A and B are shown apart, each in its own frame.
Chain A
Amino acid sequence: MTSLLPTHLPALLSLDLPWGLIVAIKTAVVLSIIPAGALILGYVFLLKMMSHMQSRLGPMDPGGFHGWFQLIGDGIKFIQKEDIVPAEADRRVFMAAPAVILISTFLIYLVIPAGPRLVVADLEVGIFYALAVSSLSVIGVLMAGWASANKYALMGALRAAAQLIAYELPLVLAVVGVVIQAGTMSLQGIVHFQANGEIFGFGGLGLPLILTQFVGFALFLIATQAELTQTPFDMPVAESELVAGYMVEYSGFRFLFFFMGEFGTAFAFAGIAATLFLGGWSIPGVEGTVADILGPMVLFTKIMVVAFLIFWVRFTYPRLREDQLQAIAWKYLIPISLLNILVTGIFKVVA
């Protein structure tokens, strides 16, 4: 990654900063975005939205107003707890697994643009890269499940691996429609395509690709749900059957890593969906430095909208069985996404 950065130096900031400083700033931003995104999602959706939907009283109480202290209290609790490694566990692998999951989350953020110049690395294969590195987390899950020396953990990890086969294909195929229409795999390019697009000759709003790729958007969200191991596809964790699946032996700060990885990935995937289908940071008619300032806020708003959908489903539906997920993926999602690609391709050639 670092070797690609210098070429984007002039584009990133008009200020003439030393190369090392730029890299340091970018690293700091990416490193801080994961905890920030995870905390925001955790706070807004897990604690507040869920408490409202499920009429939970606990998370609304601590600290007085609307239970603002709950998240901080949870953080303190996790840090205080003992970091237990089971006696039978494969120590090194066990301890490395949460980091592997978190790293895969970090890598996704590198390509999500938040403004015309606010992107760590605008890769030509951006979306391809993002989906590829997001699959890395399964390696971490398998490591965690195998190293825990626990049957529940092992079953959870194997389910996660089996699940990967089911949802990764529809996830990629859902994106292909967008790529065909925009003609580029660079996320920045896709955003520009949407910003400059027209709806039947009316260019005031740009062309958010959700209007033409609504099937792709739905498929992408469903597959995202499986990628994030959220209900209805949370079989790898399945707290009522596998207790907590691959996370069962983790405690304290390492468990917090899993938690941050989960919500950080949710934030990243909401970001990808917002970028691909909702126009990303773009505001029609606004360009240059102003877009750099407003872009992150626009993107953040869209991320929250998508994340709301993701978490709404999570708190509403029961869980499918592993074989039922495979059936849904292979019988419905993949054929529909292939059909979507076909139709998109026809329109692309004809129009």
Chain B
Amino acid sequence: MQKHLADARVNVELETEGMVLNIGPQHPATHGTLRVVVKLDGERVVSADPVIGYMHRGYEKLTEFRTYPQVTTLINRIDWLSSFANEVPFIHGAELLMGIEAPPRATYIRTVLTELSRIATFILFLGEMGVQVGALTPVFYGFRDREHVLNLIEAATGGRFHPNFNRIGGLKIDLPQGWIDDTRRVMAKVFKSVDDFEELLVGNEIFEVRTKGIGVIPSSVGAAYGVSGSNLRASGVDWDLRRDGPPYLAYRDLDWKVWTHPDGDSYSRYWVRMQETRESARMVLQMLDGLPSGPVMAKVPRIIKVPEGEVWVNTENPLGEMGYYLISKGATGPFRVKIRSASFSNVSILPWLLRGVYVPDIITILASLYFILGDIDR
């Protein structure tokens, strides 16, 4: 990296005129409307500057004008690939303020659906990464296999992308009949699908030279920039809010492993997400075996008013740490909500990370950081 930087500087001194290239807001690699302004010297990046805000929808402000049950409709759309996981921390925070606890069955189903949305998000990533480094085929497998998982989410919640299924104190309805058997079948498909991606890409020499050593995030730098989730675990930081954070959902009851990789490059980010997909599928199977019976809804008042107070809830979402700082003044809606979304912090490392790399590596790095535009701009 240092060497590349020095080279780039020498070239500038030799009066090769730089070129400013706008990658985005309309560009296939930014899967959304991220704009990265890169200053190039030939094919080498001298400096890069991400410009965000093209997808700003003002959800933090909008929550102030909605009642608590209505807010889930909004926050569903922050990270639209794993909408269910977005609802969990907000609902959890409201429940903490109200002193309500969801019944065990509801907690388990929430955990299952959160892990399912993680699987759906990661399977798409596993394919998407292929197409960003030039292999066209995996992305189609990704979309195909994700569909099985989305069908499950749709069967349980009624929404493919935006379930809006969480209620303060539990869930809207119980699982449909036969859903558990279907889920077991789909989990078998998920294992097969991840194996396919491993065979297609991980052993491939071209994939390895394109990703190994590209976009290395040292653990200290990553932590300083607030990078979280799989991106940080790929840098060797053994930190997962499902295990290390304050207890939420049913993770404490499960037997599972946090995967890390020491290298911190694009390849290790791919590898970690691959392992986590498998781990999530294993967790889902465990939970299906031990699913408690009982109601899915606690006793809550007809009109929900959250008592005065403040709470900070952060959870391990598929893209990284997601947090809600919720302030209530005792009304039917929140007074103020601050949302900490994972992708916002994850892309903030881009100017540091993109210096000195080649143009094709920009795409590899953007793909391996795996952000969702809605999650950056909210």
Contacts and interface: CB of A to CB of B under 8 A. Distances in A.
B359 A155 contact: yes
Contacts of A239: 28
A151 B206 CA distance: 27
A234 B134 contact: yes
A318 interface: yes
Given A317-B206, A318-B135, A318-B204, A238 B140 contact: no
Contacts of A54: 136-137, 140-141
Dominant SS among interface residues on chain A: loop
B134 A243 contact: no
Given A231-B134, A241-B29, A322 B43 contact: yes
Contact of B360 (A56, A231, A235, A317): A235
Interface in A263-322: 315-322
Task: Point out which of A56, A241, A318 has the most chain B C-beta atoms below 10 A from its C-beta.
Answer: A318
Interface string A204-241: 00000000000000000000000000011011001111
- Interface range for A: 20 to 34
Contacts of A14: none
A55 B135 contact: no
Given A55-B141, A231-B136, A240-B132, A318 B201 contact: yes
Given A54-B141, A231-B136, A240 B28 contact: yes
A317 B201 CA distance: 8
A318 B209 CA distance: 10
A324 interface: yes
B134 A319 contact: yes
Task: Point out which of B19, B130, B131, B136 has the most chain A C-beta atoms below 10 A from its C-beta.
Answer: B136
Contact of A241 (B136, B201, B204, B359): B359
B362 interface: yes
Interface in B195-215: 201, 204, 206-207, 209-210
Contacts of B130: 318
A321 B362 CA distance: 12
Contacts of B135: 231, 316-319
A349 interface: no
Contacts of B204: 317-318
A235 B201 CA distance: 19
B348 to A, nearest CB: 22
Contacts of A235: 360
A323 interface: yes
Contacts of B141: 54-55
Contacts of B43: 155, 322
A53 interface: yes
A125 B275 CA distance: 57
Contact of A232 (B21, B27, B131, B206): B206
Given A240-B29, A321-B209, 6 more contacts: A55-B140, A55-B144, A231-B136, A318-B134, A319-B133, A319-B134
Interface of A: 53-56, 151-152, 155, 231-232, 234-235, 238-243, 315-324
